[in-house]
Copies of this chain bind each other. A is one copy, B any other.
Amino acid sequence: MHSDLVISGARTPEGDLVDIAIRGATISAVSAAGTAGPAEQRLDAAGWLVAPSFVEGHIHLDKTLLGLPFIPHIPGDTVAARIAAEKQLRRTVPMSIEERGARLIEQIAAFGTGSLRSHVDIDTEIGLAGLHQLLKLKARFAHLVDIQIVAFPQSGIMADPGTADLLDAALAEGADLVGGLDPAGIDRDVTGHLDTVFSLAVKHGAGIDIHLHDGGTLGAFELRQIAERTLANGFQGKVAVSHAFALGDIDDFEFGRTSELLARADVAIMTNGPGPVPMPPVMRLAAAGVTVFAGSDNIRDAWAPYGNGDLLQRAMLIGYRQGFLADEDVAHAFAMVTAIPAGVLGLDGYGIAPGKQADLVLLPMASVPEAVATVPTRRTVIKRGRIVGGAGNF
């Protein structure tokens, strides 16, 4: 039986030169280079590295300002001040969330991202309007990316009364996870905030992904509170905490007891390799049994002018920031944008093997460490068995 597509002569992350046969949206066979049977279409990989598509662990499709002329950053010293500045801006932006989000999806798909978890602001001003536009994007771009949506209370839950009901409605209308935000720093009610988030998650059988910027021992306390609730609700493997700067900013005793609890509760940590603030120590957390995955976070939005959504560049940035130099460490940074977030997002059929989804990215490199260190701009991207993009160049 003919394949629909054969990718011939690609190098796997393990170093093997293989042919990858694809039928429909699925990998049907992986065999030694030169041995694949007939196919409707052949793509000569010429020895390029093949990897499963990048998995974006944290993005805000509703926040990006891509497609608009460059907008100078509006300063704000605190998270609260920046939330206010962002709200002010979004009232005046002359382009819909759907249009801006579409630009971002097209850009990151060209870089090789095949799946993503996007947060979407839910508050009493915007209501579910952002969610509705993300749901449209999810359907419209199903050929390019698989989208998971977190209902994110960017203005707090207790601090913006009415938000809990909106989160409830968002989960009923198609959000996949419930979010949270600085239970102490923004809502000033750790118990109330987390009780609300967990009860919504339990009600809807939804996962949880909480933004936590609170630092030091306060942030560590909140992490332990989250882990304890995760265990109490049997939610192991369904909870993530994004940023968790506190893990890079506490002493050994605090780190030890916090990481032990996070590992036991199987709470995953998302990091974007932040610039000016403390970063969770990736390898130390991994050694403690804590899953750490990566995401782009802000991409040209009210929070920061930086970012392009290229997860290969993000892996480089994380490796650079963490001082990953040896091949196995650099390869770990690559895993943080591929296999590790695929596990956190619960993606079925992720990987390069028969029966797996044919979501692949080809890079003109000889190995994973070389790809991360070099960040080549040339790519070939395959989604659901179709060649959907070339260079992520712009």
A253 at the interface (CB under 8 A from B): no
Interface size range of chain A in the complex:
35 or more
A346–B300 Cα distance when bound, in Å, is: 35
- CB < 8 Å: which of B300, B320, B372, B378 contacts A373? B300
A350–B369 Cα distance when bound, in Å, is: 38
- Min Cβ gap A239→B in Å is 28
A353 at the interface (CB under 8 A from B): no
A305 at the interface (CB under 8 A from B): yes
A374–B317 Cα distance when bound, in Å, is: 15
Q: Contacting chain B: which of A39-47, A68-76, A121-129, A190-198?
A: A68-76
Q: Is the CB of A327 within 8 A of B69?
A: no
A34 at the interface (CB under 8 A from B): no
Q: Is the CB of A373 within 8 A of B306?
A: yes
Q: Nearest chain-B residue to A392 (Cβ)? A: B377
Q: Nearest chain-B residue to A74 (Cβ)? A: B326
A317–B326 Cα distance when bound, in Å, is: 21
Contact with B along A349-366 (1 / 0, CB 8 A): 000000000000000011
- Min Cβ gap A243→B in Å is 14
Given contacts A369-B70, A377-B393, whether A316 and B306 have CB atoms under 8 Å apart is: yes
Contact with B along A313-350 (1 / 0, CB 8 A): 00011011111011100100000000000000000000
- Min Cβ gap A340→B in Å is 20
**Residues of A in contact with B (beta carbons under 8 Å apart):** 69-70, 72-73, 75, 275-277, 300, 304-308, 316-317, 319-323, 325-327, 330, 365-367, 369-370, 372-378, 393-394
